[in-house]
Amino acid sequence: MSPEPRQILAPDGTRHGESSLEIPAIRRLYQAMLSARVFDRKASAMQRQGRLATYSPFEGQEACQIGSAAALSPQDWVVGSYRDGGAMWLHGYTWRNLLLGRTGDERGGRTPDGVRVLPPSITVGGHMIHAVGLGWGERLQGSDGVALTLFGDGATSEGDFHEAMNFAAVFETPTVFFCQNNGWAISMPTERQTRSETIAHKAVAYGMEGVRVDGNDLLAVYEAATAAVAKARRGDGPTLIEAITFRVGPHTTADDPGRYRSEGIVAEWRERDPLERVRRYLVAQDAWDEAWQREIEEAESRAIEDIVADAEALPAFTPREIFDGMYAEPTAQLREQRAEAERG
Amino acid sequence: MAELSYRDAVSRGIAQEMRRDPNLVFLGEDVAAAGGVFKTTVGLLDEFGPIRVRDTPISEQAILGAAAGAAMTGVPVIAEIMFSDFLAVCFDLVANEIAKLRYMTDGQVSLPIVIRTANGAGSRFGAQHSQSVENWCMMIPGLKVVAPSTPEDVIGLMAASVRDPDPVVFFEHKSLMATKATIPDGEIVDELGKARTLRAGTDITIVALALMVPRAMAAADRLAEQGISAEVIDLRTLVPLDTRTILHSVERTGRLATVEENPRLCGWGAEIASLVAHEAFWNLDAPIVRITTPHIPLPAANNLEDATIPSVDKIVDTIVSEWA
């Protein structure tokens, strides 16, 4: 395994590899990354204004999230962590779902009909195992659906990672493990998280293919994810993809990264911004101009503002609804407790 | 009619449901080729094949995670955790994932999962393989908790658990495996949340679960010799809890004793004592009595394990000594 991450687009936008994406598709995915960034910044701002609970920004990781989810078909599943809103959204979870979730409204966890996305996992790593079961369940029903699970470098230190990887390999489940190695698990740098040469190397121990990719390169992420999804769909089992990226912002809105990492590193990574890289490539291909950029920025900002207004206009979740979500039919004890709660 | 052991009732109960629902799958450690370490799943691999009856690596988290994922795609699952003590190594899945996913999706996602597990003392397996941990699961919102005491209940409650759209933790008692009973032929389907009054009495209500049920019954015989008429209730399920049967009984007898194998603190009997103290306070003629395992890890030595778990003698002596 080469420890050098695969790259198609250099940070200056020059292409030095083959991509299966045509220019119109790249423009669509660029717009999707932009939508994700607009949402992400809006959500962070709303948290600062007291309109959302803690939020985990994904700025800097848009190529990972949009590039990986773009490789899926509607019958596939996305199971992500609290930092994977971009991938979840591209697969059909709505920004409204994500906003409601961050206000503590459980209606945020209810996906639109037919959308195969689980709510963001707040426990670190627990969801990787669900993706193994989702893939297994699809296989049992004769479907060729695949489950993509996204997680961070820190989650690979959880026992869940080991059990999920081993089980997926032994059961040959159609699961794509997509690790966004963003360098930091809150304050812990990757080199203190693992002594493996790379996270992709961990796949070897499970008899699984491990792939390392430049996570700020939309085209490289898309190719790696597409290959892994196709392999899973064929019945050739799971893949671990390690995408090297960087969380530009804090771990969550409750975190101050200035306490554990230097501004110099952040500035370095801003130079490798995943959106800017695609923009430079599109410029070189004569497929970008300022008028289009302004048009999509305005369109995405308006769309996000509309979604925020719509989510904030929703009547508040009531105690009754909490009880109704507990079981298919509430037990007698729960009915009594619901009545007690409603009496106030 | 046929005589069947509790052990064989487990495989018959699973087989009944796997025949009925061709989508139902079963996975766990050593459940297929070996037929289970307690031989509760013998014959299932032969009848249903290796896709539906699946041995797994020693990965309790992955067993339950795979069950959760498959259940969310619409595949009902029976998952075995070999010893109930091992629920502790996968409790994130039990308590934070499987129990809460319906709630966290605003009721959208169903998790038709039965987590079967061998519970309880009597086999001298010691502190990490002999515990009664039904109270661990009873305290988690979103789970249902079942613990049958007879072969017929194993089959009927297994059917009810499999057919329930919500996750059920199903405790099979290791010391009841060899017990036998004559049970009817054909399909047996029971209902969750229904306790059973096994013996009518007028002086005291004894509420018991699993292995404590036959001990409570034997104690009732002995109490009768001393002129105390005990009513014995087999709870059968802790969640949902059949509060009506308990309260109606105490309203008539005026006394309550719980017989619990779980350790004292936060054992399920405390919940029932609290319920009765609140709902039937004015019917009580005496303080509520809880007969439990002490709040200690279980010893493995024969004499110590026997001294620790509530015995027939202990039940009789405690009730008689409290009788005033």
For residue range A219-276, what is the model confidence (pLDDT) as tens digits? 999 999 999 999 999 999 999 999 999 999 999 999 999 999 999 999 999 999 999 9
pLDDT in tens, B103-162: 999 999 999 999 999 999 999 999 999 999 999 999 999 999 999 999 999 999 999 999
pTM of the predicted model as reported, rounded to 2 decimal places: 0.95
Instruction: Report if residue A4 sits inside a domain.
Output: no
Instruction: Report if residue A63 sits inside a domain.
Output: yes
pLDDT at B87: 98
Q: Which of A129, A331, A332 sits opposite B65 (nearest CB)?
A: A129
Q: Which of B51, B62, B97 sits opposite A132 (nearest CB)?
A: B62
Query: Which chain B residue has its CA at the smallest distance from A334's CA?
Result: B240
CB A269 within 8 A of CB A182: no
Note whether A226 and A264 are same-domain residues: yes
Note whether A160 and A241 are same-domain residues: yes
Instruction: Report if residue A3 sits inside a domain.
Output: no
Mean pLDDT of B291-309: 95
Shortest distance, CA A192 to any CA of chain B (angstroms): 25
Note whether A137 and A270 are same-domain residues: yes
Query: Which chain B residue has its CA at the smallest distance from A128's CA?
Result: B65
* Percent with pLDDT over 70 in chain A: 99
Confidence of residue A320 (pLDDT cuts 50, 70, 90): confident
pLDDT in tens, B249-278: 999 999 999 999 999 999 999 999 999 999
pLDDT at A74: 97
Note whether A286 and A243 are same-domain residues: yes
Instruction: Report if residue A13 sits inside a domain.
Output: no
Note whether A333 and A202 are same-domain residues: no
Question: Domain containing A235 — which CATH number?
Answer: 3.40.50.970
Instruction: Report if residue A194 sits inside a domain.
Output: yes
Active site residue B251: no
Sign of CA dihedral A325, A327, A330, A334: negative
Query: Which chain B residue has its CA at the smallest distance from A326's CA?
Result: B103
Note whether A324 and A197 are same-domain residues: no
- Distance (Å, rounded) from C-alpha B22 to C-alpha B52? 9
Note whether A108 and A252 are same-domain residues: yes
- What are chain B's domains? 2-183 (3.40.50.970), 196-322 (3.40.50.920)
Note whether A33 and A100 are same-domain residues: yes
Best B27, B48, B61 residue to mutate vs chain A (most A CBs within 10 Å):
B61
Note whether A309 and A321 are same-domain residues: no
* The residue to which tokens 């789970």 are assigned: B143
Note whether A272 and A254 are same-domain residues: yes
Query: Considering its fold, how many domains does chain A have in total?
Result: 2
Is the pLDDT reported for residue A344 higher than 80? Answer: no
Instruction: Report if residue A131 sits inside a domain.
Output: yes
Shortest distance, CA B64 to any CA of chain A (angstroms): 8
List the catalytic residues of A: 247, 251, 260
Is the pLDDT reported for residue A1 higher than 90? Answer: no
Instruction: Report if residue A11 sits inside a domain.
Output: no
Best A115, A129, A171 residue to mutate vs chain B (most B CBs within 10 Å):
A129
Q: Are residues B240 and A164, on separate chains, in Cβ contact within 8 Å?
A: no
- Distance (Å, rounded) from C-alpha A74 to C-alpha A145? 9
Note whether A242 and A335 are same-domain residues: no
pLDDT at A2: 66
Instruction: Report if residue A211 sits inside a domain.
Output: yes
Note whether A254 and A156 are same-domain residues: yes
Q: What range does the domain containing A171 cover?
A: 23-313
A238 in contact with B, Cβ within 8 Å = no
